[in-house]
Amino acid sequence: MKRETELTLNRPIAALNFLLTLAVTFLGLLAITFLIGRVVPIDPVLAVVGDRASTETYEAVRLQMGLDDPLIVQFARYVWQVMQGDLGMSVSTGRAVSEDLGRVFPATLEMATLGIIIGVTIGVPMGVFAAARQGKWVDQVIRVIGLAGYAIPAFWLGLVGLVIFYANLRWVGGPGRIDLFLDGMVPPRSGLLLIDSAIDGNWEAFRSALSHIILPATILGFFALAYIARMTRSFMLEQLSQEFITTARVKGVPERLILWRHAFRPIWIQLITVIGLSYAGLLEGSVMIETVFSWPGIGNYLTTALLNADMNAVLGATLVIGAVFVGINKGSDALYRLLDPRARA
């Protein structure tokens, strides 16, 4: 009874600590993006006025942007603007950066979500089977696949995939998110083209979008499954060495039940954190894939902004990617604590 009372009293404190940690982490992320904007050797004033502007125009714009103020004042202004959802104007598009990010982020979200589904669906069974066949050829093959997921560059795998499956075999769609003649025919409801086309009943657009997304999503899923399979194998090997597994085998429990009911059940909560980190990694690490496949997502937007010295867009995209990574990381940690009584204790 006393222990239950202590846990009940500690829950609000734990929630407050979680929110405080999240706020401090986000403030640190804001500080990093702010410093990036000051350290990068790109003059934001020149990006606005051009290199042919007069000195008077340059100084006027510099004063208008508040770059003559002390850094602490600039940082406070930056934090206040971000809190209001103001990430500045993009020099490249002439629109608000927040509007641009709201337009491009769903494309990255859709591809990364399909990629993590592929990674989990294939990676978890691979890890389980590798642990069950430790030291055998199946285990060796799966370990090599996992090593390849770390060693092969994403851009090289994307280019090879395009050459084989698009240019030669014609099994998938090419670069872009949908065929050109179907672009704009699906009303943007959620921003997720597969869902929007299905809701609209435009199955031709759905098939086109699916053919374009399947290759880049599979490549992202390959990198995710490499990490997920390796961690699943490690967790399973630890469980398979426990005494209760030996007892189950002595009692004649079928190996399939030992793997999935007795050994896998204790580790699935641990896998939540692994999957969450993999998902966040796909969202922030899809820059190369989006560039190769001309995918109109946040990675492609960030690359274009860097080439055009569009610092508002660069900082806005960096901030969103960092915030998503922190949010998923903290969310998976909170879910782990919620589902695992030992973590709550």
Residue 2 in this model has a pLDDT that exceeds 70: no
Q: Is residue 204 part of a domain?
A: yes
Residues 60 and 205 in one domain: no
Residues 135 and 231 in one domain: yes
Predicted local confidence at residue 332, as pLDDT: 78
Q: Is residue 248 part of a domain?
A: yes
Q: Would you state the structure tokens that stand for residue 209, as one six-digit string?
A: 């979008």
Residues 260 and 294 in one domain: yes
Among candidate residues 27, 53, 83, the one where a domain is terminated: 83
Q: Would you state the structure tokens that stand for residue 20, as one six-digit string?
A: 């405080």
Residues 337 and 194 in one domain: yes
Residue 1 in this model has a pLDDT that exceeds 60: no
Q: Is residue 98 part of a domain?
A: no
Residues 79 and 191 in one domain: no
Report how many domains make up the chain: 2
Predicted local confidence at residue 341, as pLDDT: 62
Residues 207 and 292 in one domain: yes
Is residue 130 within 8 A of residue 139, CB to CB? The reply is: yes
In the chain, the percentage of residues whose pLDDT exceeds 70 is 90
Q: Which residue has the higher pLDDT, 274 or 38?
A: 274
Among candidate residues 34, 49, 83, the one where a domain is terminated: 83
Residues 330 and 263 in one domain: yes
Residue 344 in this model has a pLDDT that exceeds 70: no
Q: Is residue 90 part of a domain?
A: no
Instruction: Print the SS3 string covering 45-101.
Output: HHHHHCCCCCHHHHHHHHHHCCCCCCHHHHHHHHHHHHHCCCCCECCCCCCEHHHHH
Is residue 274 within 8 A of residue 282, CB to CB? The reply is: no
CATH of the domain at 171: 1.10.3720.10
Residues 39 and 139 in one domain: no
Residue 40 in this model has a pLDDT that exceeds 60: yes
CA distance linking residue 173 with residue 160, whole number of Å: 14
Look-up of token digits 């004042």: 73
The model's confidence at residue 5, banded by pLDDT at 50, 70 and 90, is low
Residues 185 and 265 in one domain: yes
Among candidate residues 26, 51, 83, the one where a domain is terminated: 83
Q: Within a 13 Å sphere around the CA of 148, how many CA atoms are in the beta-carbon half?
A: 13
The model's confidence at residue 60, banded by pLDDT at 50, 70 and 90, is confident
**Exposed/middle/buried for residue 13 (C-beta within 10 Å: 0-12, 13-18, 19+):** exposed
Whole-number average pLDDT of the chain? 84
CA distance linking residue 44 with residue 54, whole number of Å: 15
Per the structure, the complete domain to which residue 253 belongs is given by 103-344
The model's confidence at residue 94, banded by pLDDT at 50, 70 and 90, is confident
Please give the C-alpha separations between residue 167 and each of 161, 205, 322, in angstroms, as whole numbers. 9, 21, 35
Closest CA to 307 of 31, 51, 91: 91
Q: Which residue has the higher pLDDT, 18 or 216?
A: 216
Closest CA to 36 of 324, 314, 322: 314
Predicted local confidence at residue 231, as pLDDT: 92
Q: Is residue 206 part of a domain?
A: yes
Q: Is residue 91 part of a domain?
A: no
Q: Is residue 92 part of a domain?
A: no
Closest CA to 175 of 278, 292, 286: 292
The model's confidence at residue 185, banded by pLDDT at 50, 70 and 90, is confident
Residues 166 and 305 in one domain: yes
Residue 343 in this model has a pLDDT that exceeds 80: no
Predicted local confidence at residue 198, as pLDDT: 92
Residue 291 in this model has a pLDDT that exceeds 60: yes
Predicted local confidence at residue 41, as pLDDT: 66
Q: Is residue 167 part of a domain?
A: yes
Q: How many CB atoms lie within 10 A of CB 232?
A: 28
What is the chain's Cα-based Rg?
24
Residues 142 and 284 in one domain: yes
Look-up of token digits 């990430």: 87
* pLDDT, mean of residues 259-266: 85
Residues 74 and 222 in one domain: no
Is residue 216 within 8 A of residue 222, CB to CB? The reply is: no
